[in-house]
Structure 1
């Protein structure tokens, strides 16, 4: 079957209508923290507990995360758009003025987030212009009262109200 190519601008426009959460993926190598904003983050498996994220092949932060062999996904709160913007930039000291701590893996856990997911890096696959990085979850922290930061149609936002009717029960 001969299928048409999808134009990148159209792809970005349509997929931008899919709301996603925002994480800052962090690691520490030889006492030096590194981090990057990532909206391509997902739960992958319950048994074993796995998550995945997808940095660009051209990422300047990801090679340090790979070398560290561990990472933390910091799920940002609605009031942390500035943090997302800061960690999305290339170069500079992204941790300047940012409060954080270290726990199980040594990866920086940013203050004020919705959740922290600490992982051991277990697999990496190159897919197109991104990598699919799989981590085995080794520690979790969640803050039930926090509202997550969302990304939709090129802008940051937050949930308005609760989950509402029709939301899946847990």
Structure 2
């Protein structure tokens, strides 16, 4: 990585973000990625987005699913963020989840859940910006979110 790339990573890390799991059923099993780039986009229509690296080997499996779940992880779910963010192994081993009728995978105990369809995908630099239309949603307002800041997981408590 270049010096500029290292500086960008360090400075981007000064901005705290939530941690979300983007997941769906693939061949009857959960597949997903961890994303710290989850952003609400629009109320009307209801849209949210995440950024996905071009190097992701999981996103090509998910992007054609009829529905995809986005779970905003709770502060107590650092282990889920690490597990689903791993590059190898069973990313859902030890993770409690449920599937919707449409095949979205939602993590149990999260702060918020979104059942979505892919609305648009925009190539941008070394990532794609993926915009999702929200079909259904819910939140556990008593569960504080997990935050990623300065290259580590943090709690707002």
TM-score interval for Structure 1 and Structure 2 normalised by the shorter chain = over 0.9
1:105 aligns to what? 102
- Which runs of at least 4 in structure 1 moved beyond 6 Å after TM superposition? none
TM-score of the two chains, using structure 1 as the length reference: 0.87
Task: Give the unaligned 5+ runs of structure 1.
Answer: 1-5, 161-170
Alignment partner of 1:142 is 2:139: yes
Task: Give the unaligned 5+ runs of structure 2.
Answer: none
Task: Give the counterpart of 1:91 among 70, 73, 88.
Answer: 88
State the Cα distance separating 1:70 from its structure 2 match: 2.3
> Cα–Cα, structure 1 residues 109 and 39, in superposed 2: closer, same or farther, change >3 Å?
same
Q: How many residues align?
A: 155
Task: Give the counterpart of 1:27 among 10, 24, 27.
Answer: 24
State the Cα distance separating 1:122 from its structure 2 match: 1.4
Task: Give the counterpart of 1:73 among 67, 70, 74.
Answer: 70
Kept in 1, the 8 Å contact 2:66–2:103? The answer is: no
Kept in 2, the 8 Å contact 1:105–1:119? The answer is: no
1:165 aligns to what? none
Supply the RMSD in Å over aligned alpha carbons. Answer: 1.3
Q: Distance in 1 between matches of 2:38 and 2:62?
A: 15
Show CA shifts across 1:38-66 (max 9, x none): 00110111110001110100001101111
Q: Distance in 2 between matches of 1:29 and 1:14?
A: 36
TM-score of the two chains, using structure 2 as the length reference: 0.93
